[in-house]
Amino acid sequence: MSTPAKLLAFVAALAAVFATATLAGAAIGPDPEDDRAGTESQEHSDMTDSPQGGHDVRGLAVAEDGLRVVVADPELRRGRDETLRFTIAGKDGEPVRDFDVTHERRMHLIVARRDLTGFQHLHPEQAADGTWSTGIRLADAGSYRMFADFSHDGENQTLAADLRVDGAADLRALPEPETTAKSDGGYDVRLDGGTAHPGAEAELRFTIARDGTPIDTEPYLGAGGHLVALREGDMAFLHVHPTSDDAVRFAVTFPTEGRYRLFLQFKHEGRVQTVAFTQEVS
């Protein structure tokens, strides 16, 4: 057989081998890489639909659903009046400017130290370029978590970032659960919530008194009070729903066992009060 003929025969045989391999691969099934990609996609879907990763738990990421919180300067000085600036960037990297009104505001900023002390609830102002800014004063050194809580295109979002205050941090243990506590203005507050279980909705009811006399709270952010729940450890931000416009009652689903810090704010005689409780979930 001539050399050209031999080459033609070799090429034909090689083509036949590739064709057979392709048919075998199709019969066996899809590429394992595709299987892994599909599994990962399903696992992500399962996670976001579960109580641990669903819509009631937020604030664990700096970016989600194409949005990202960008802090201009996360380094703050201890005990100084500072201005905290940040933007919510979209998929194109540009600042988002349109936000929905929730609880009477377009942006809620929650700040707390990693040991769940130093809680602040602020309402930044937005500039024409999309930058949000607010005055802030952090009295103690340490690592803080900031939560930008807002709604965009009808979807509630809570994005988080770290802030740092230089100096030796005197971290504190989480207080043991108690049913009564005093607000920063001296009001006596009682929590009635019973035993809380993971994955089950619990109703938290607060009664408030001053000098032994029960008081009725004034409307604050569209309800009788405002409640923020943060999980010990990862500081997961729980979405809490007020169940009454005038009474201080809330519905919350705690996703896991553990301890949570509840920060209740209410308004009386024109002043906003803050009080904190530790909630055990088992």
Q: Express as a percent the part of the chain with pLDDT over 90.
A: 76
The superfamily (CATH) of domain 180-281 is Domain of unknown function DUF4426 (2.60.40.3340)
Confidence check: pLDDT of 54 > 80: no
Instruction: Output the pLDDT for position 30.
Output: 38
The yes/no answer on whether domain 61-165 falls in CATH 3.90.1150.10 is no
Which pLDDT value is given to residue 44? 32
Average pLDDT, the chain: 85
Give residue 34's pLDDT band: very low, low, confident or very high (50, 70, 90): very low
Q: Is the pLDDT of residue 231 over 80?
A: yes
pLDDT for the residue 194 = 81
What confidence score (pLDDT) does residue 57 get? 84
Band (10; pLDDT cuts 50, 70, 90): very low
Q: What is the pLDDT of residues 193-217, one digit of tens each?
A: 888 999 999 999 999 999 999 999 9
User: Cβ distance 82 to 75 under 8 Å?
Assistant: no
Taking only the tens place, the pLDDT of each residue in 149-180 is 999 999 999 999 999 999 999 999 999 999 99
Whether pLDDT at 226 is above 60: yes
* pLDDT attached to residue 223: 92
pLDDT beyond 90 at 56: no
